[in-house]
């Protein structure tokens, strides 16, 4: 059973990420991490006639990929934890119809990969499940239409705006197996510092990210250099710089030597015209479930803190000129042996 | 630690619902259960200038009410589990800003009260938390605008359409305390039988409800009469009749003697012009967190199966003429002593 130190959960029942898979679209495949993803879809419609269906197919295919890697079939899975950015989480719900697998729907905006992994770990910890899948997805085209404008409008993007990743990450978690261990987790608190610019979501998510990182470091008496990397997802270029400054100023913690961000890693800032970098559930989902889990499993990295950040706005709140609440959920991942 | 029999989770670490509170709007207050709710808001704006803010205030007030009943303050709570019907779950997210409490965002449409109670129980079971809140809400006016038409249009409703409840339910869960025990739970599978009529959501949710009820009865070798009531929420009048027929035909199980539905209980069908009854996360949330938990705690009822049902559609999928996936999550609630 788990132990708690303040808001940090420490696992004793050994939840392990045993398999992982990541799929992305064409643009992400052309980025610096392109060769690390399991699947790159050059046709981002995935053969479907709506972007929403394309997104559902993306996550379903990714989950099927991870099942195949583990040589499992649906009935071997106790539960799927998933969520996405689309209103009423239809990306996930429509994907997982009639599979015969229980589904826990989550909403954490771009923090969903961490939220699904934490829930998966907590279910395993209490023996409420034995083998589960944590997954998420996002699609540039469905997100643009929902949150901004249909692509056909050809609207211009601001310098601080981020590019929603077409991507999906999925992981199988079991107990007492070989893989990457979930050592601890930290569920985030909702922070809102009054930022109202939906084209600067990185900045809106900084206070939540800082709160979660500082909370976890303090609860466990660790320093930033206790980790090979403190990986946020997805503050992008603008938000990452703000995070480092904000943490120095507000918490007297300097993460600059070990900090990196999935939204910075997935695109080439100069060559790919993505402005402030990548965003979307599928950004941290696909980067974790390829690049980082591969490095942790091979031993190239020993231990990371993974903090997925979410901006909890909606198209309605943007039109109503409300501020943007942020949240950030974190896990410590590494190999025990 | 929990035990699993197929998809049913049996708790051994004694998660208990120790406090509960329910708030509703004027119309719900005028219904048959009106006197059982903790708070009835005759002004359903709750003093706010948008329906979305009214909904957020409704759930925040309800959670504050349950805190007060337990003589707790925010820092006594390890985690809030919550979700709602609004796109990107803004009802909950905007309510729980800057409270200093970790938040797990859930999406299960109208099944959210069960989903939040199950997650709360599973966290307690693995000692990932010690005292948590499970909550949900819905608001007639924000839902009508989002899913159907702004109220100002004065559009007509079909005979099978349900009335989204303005209401919220919240519960505190702890281990080894006095209250109503969570004995077992069952996470639902997403079922889609191809129903496309968004004005007949009761029917769309029937296959999922039937699957969950039959699954739990079979896993535990129980019969419908093992319970004082099998309580669905919210199939309404139309969906409830279909459920009883469907379960007889497809599963050879007759629940007619013990079945009831939160959407049928909350309104007076004749006097209140609600067509097929109540719906919305806040319907099963407010009815469970008043009527049923009160009866279980007092001993008037000994044991119930509570199955909250969700229709996982979105305004976008309705316009795209997609079918409506359904889900149903269930718990067995009762007093151990």
pLDDT digits (tens, 9 = 90+) for B135-173: 999 999 999 989 888 888 888 888 888 999 999 999 999
Above 80 in pLDDT, residue B15?
Answer: yes
Residue with tokens 């699957």: B211
Contacts of A179 (CB under 8 A, 6+ apart): A16, A17, A18, A19, A297
How many CB atoms are closer than 10 A to CB A277? 27
Give contacts of A211 with chain B, Cβ < 8 Å: none
In tens, the pLDDT along B24-39 reads 999 999 999 999 999 9
Nearest CA distance, A186 vs chain B (angstrom): 8
- Answer whether A104 sits within 8 Å of B187, measured CB to CB: yes
Above 70 in pLDDT, residue A337?
Answer: no
Above 80 in pLDDT, residue A129?
Answer: yes
* SS3 call for B214: helix
Average pLDDT, chain B: 96
Nearest of B227, B107, B101, B151 to residue A86 by alpha carbon: B107
- Could you tell me the CA-to-CA distances from B323 to A100, B112, B200, B201, B309 in Å, in that order? 18, 21, 11, 11, 16
- Answer whether A115 sits within 8 Å of B104, measured CB to CB: yes
Residue A212 token pair:
């979660």
- Answer whether A126 sits within 8 Å of B192, measured CB to CB: no
B113 sits in which H/E element: helix B112-125
In tens, the pLDDT along B326-335 reads 999 999 999 9
Nearest CA distance, A227 vs chain B (angstrom): 23
Nearest of B185, B189, B120 to residue A102 by alpha carbon: B189
Whether omega before A174 lies within 30 degrees of 0, making that bond cis, reads no
Helix pair angle (A51-69, A140-147), 10° resolution: 140
CA B216 to chain centre: 18
> pLDDT at position B30, please?
98
In tens, the pLDDT along A255-292 reads 999 999 999 999 999 899 899 999 999 999 999 999 99
Contacts of B146 (CB under 8 A, 6+ apart): A316, B85, B86, B87, B315
Give the span between the Cα atoms of B95 and B60, in whole angstroms.
5
CB distance A9 to B104 below 8 Å: no
Give contacts of B186 with chain A, Cβ < 8 Å: 102
Q: Bridge-partner residues for B168, per DSSP?
A: B23, B137
Above 90 in pLDDT, residue B203?
Answer: no
How many CB atoms are closer than 10 A to CB A18? 20
Partner residue opposite B127 with nearest CB, options A1, A83, A325: A1
CB distance A39 to A63 below 8 Å: no
Best B74, B93, B98 residue to mutate vs chain A (most A CBs within 10 Å): B93
Above 80 in pLDDT, residue B209?
Answer: yes
Nearest CA distance, A143 vs chain B (angstrom): 12
A·B CB contacts under 8 A = 201
What is the Cβ-side half-sphere exposure of residue B233, based on CA atoms within 13 angstroms? Answer: 35
Q: Name the closest residue on chain A to residue B146, using Cα atoms.
A: A316
Nearest CA distance, B10 vs chain A (angstrom): 8
Where residue A34 falls among pLDDT bands split at 50, 70, 90? very high
Average pLDDT, chain A: 96
Partner residue opposite A105 with nearest CB, options B52, B106, B322: B106
> Is this model's pTM higher than 0.80 or not?
yes
Give the span between the Cα atoms of B244 and B210, in whole angstroms.
9
Give the span between the Cα atoms of A108 and A89, in whole angstroms.
10
- Answer whether A320 sits within 8 Å of B83, measured CB to CB: no
Nearest of B217, B304, B192, B134 to residue A99 by alpha carbon: B192
Alpha helix stretches (DSSP H) within A87-193? 90-95, 112-125, 140-147
Radius of gyration of chain A (CA): 18
Please calculate the CA angle A200-B79-A210 and round it to the nearest 5 degrees. 35
Above 80 in pLDDT, residue B337?
Answer: no
Question: Strands B229-233 and B259-261: what pairing?
Answer: parallel
Give the span between the Cα atoms of B285 and B295, in whole angstroms.
15
> Residue A96 has what DSSP assignment?
T
In tens, the pLDDT along A36-49 reads 999 999 999 999 99
> pLDDT at position A207, please?
96
Give the span between the Cα atoms of B62 and B320, in whole angstroms.
36
Give the span between the Cα atoms of A332 and A303, in whole angstroms.
7
- ipTM of model over 0.95: yes
In tens, the pLDDT along A224-261 reads 999 999 999 999 999 999 999 999 999 999 999 999 99
Residue A213 token pair:
């990182």
Best B111, B190, B215 residue to mutate vs chain A (most A CBs within 10 Å): B190
CB distance A175 to A169 below 8 Å: no
- Report the share of chain A in percent with pLDDT over 70: 100
> pLDDT at position B75, please?
96
In tens, the pLDDT along A76-101 reads 999 999 999 999 999 999 999 999 99
Whether omega before A234 lies within 30 degrees of 0, making that bond cis, reads yes
- Answer whether A190 sits within 8 Å of B83, measured CB to CB: no
Q: Bridge-partner residues for B23, per DSSP?
A: B39, B168
> pLDDT at position B199, please?
83
> Residue A234 has what DSSP assignment?
S
Give me the mean pLDDT over the A161-185 stretch. Answer: 96
Terminal CA-to-CA distance of chain A, rounded, Å? 20
Above 90 in pLDDT, residue B17?
Answer: yes
Where residue B290 falls among pLDDT bands split at 50, 70, 90? very high
Give the span between the Cα atoms of A3 and A160, in whole angstroms.
40
> pLDDT at position B100, please?
97
Above 70 in pLDDT, residue A329?
Answer: yes
Residue A203 or residue B75, greater confidence: B75
- Could you tell me the CA-to-CA distances from B43 to A135, B40, B274, B279, B319 in Å, in that order? 41, 9, 19, 20, 32
> pLDDT at position B149, please?
83
> pLDDT at position B336, please?
82
- Answer whether B93 sits within 8 Å of A9, measured CB to CB: no
CB distance A220 to A281 below 8 Å: no
Residue with tokens 């969950």: B212
* SS3 call for B190: strand
Residue B148 token pair:
């159907």
Where residue B266 falls among pLDDT bands split at 50, 70, 90? very high
DSSP track, A271-282: HH--TT-EESHH
> pLDDT at position A336, please?
82
How many CB atoms are closer than 10 A to CB B155? 10
Where residue A219 falls among pLDDT bands split at 50, 70, 90? very high
In tens, the pLDDT along B223-250 reads 999 999 999 999 999 999 999 999 999 9
In tens, the pLDDT along A179-200 reads 999 999 999 999 999 999 888 8
Task: Count helices and strands (H / E) in chain A.
Answer: 12, 15
> pLDDT at position B264, please?
97
- Answer whether B2 sits within 8 Å of A90, measured CB to CB: no
């Amino acid at each position: 059973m788990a132990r708690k130190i303040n808001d940090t959960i420490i696992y004793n029942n050994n939840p392990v990420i045993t398999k992982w898979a990541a799929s992305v679209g064409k643009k992400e495949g052309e980025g610096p991490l392109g060769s690390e993803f399991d699947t790159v879809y050059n046709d981002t419609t995935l053969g479907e006639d709506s972007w929403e269906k394309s997104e559902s197919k993306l996550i379903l295919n990714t989950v099927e990929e991870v099942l195949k890697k583990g040589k499992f079939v649906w009935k071997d899975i106790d539960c799927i934890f998933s969520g996405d950015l689309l209103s009423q989480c239809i990306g996930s719900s429509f994907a997982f119809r009639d599979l015969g697998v229980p589904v826990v729907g989550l909403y954490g905006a771009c923090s969903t990969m961490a939220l699904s992994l934490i829930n998966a770990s907590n279910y395993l910890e209490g023996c409420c499940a034995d083998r589960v899948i944590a997954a998420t997805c996002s699609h540039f085209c469905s997100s643009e239409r929902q949150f901004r404008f249909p692509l056909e409008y050809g609207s211009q993007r601001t310098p601080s705006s981020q590019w929603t990743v077409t991507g999906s990450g999925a992981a199988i978690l079991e107990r007492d197996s070989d893989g990457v261990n979930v050592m601890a987790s930290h569920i985030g608190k909702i922070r809102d510092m009054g930022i109202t610019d939906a084209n600067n979501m990185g900045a809106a998510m900084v206070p939540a990210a800082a709160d979660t990182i500082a909370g976890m470091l303090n609860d466990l008496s660790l320093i930033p250099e206790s980790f090979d990397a403190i990986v946020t997802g997805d503050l992008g270029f603008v938000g990452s710089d703000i995070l480092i400054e904000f943490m120095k100023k507000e918490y007297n913690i300097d993460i600059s030597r070990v900090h990196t961000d999935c939204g910075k890693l997935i695109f080439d800032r100069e060559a790919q015209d993505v402005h402030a970098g990548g965003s979307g559930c599928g950004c941290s989902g696909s980067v974790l479930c390829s690049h980082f889990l591969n490095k942790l499993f091979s031993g190239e990295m020993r231990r990371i803190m993974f903090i997925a950040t979410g901006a909890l706005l909606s198209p309605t709140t943007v039109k109503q000129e409300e501020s943007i609440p942020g949240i950030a959920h974190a896990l410590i991942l590494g190999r025990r042996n």
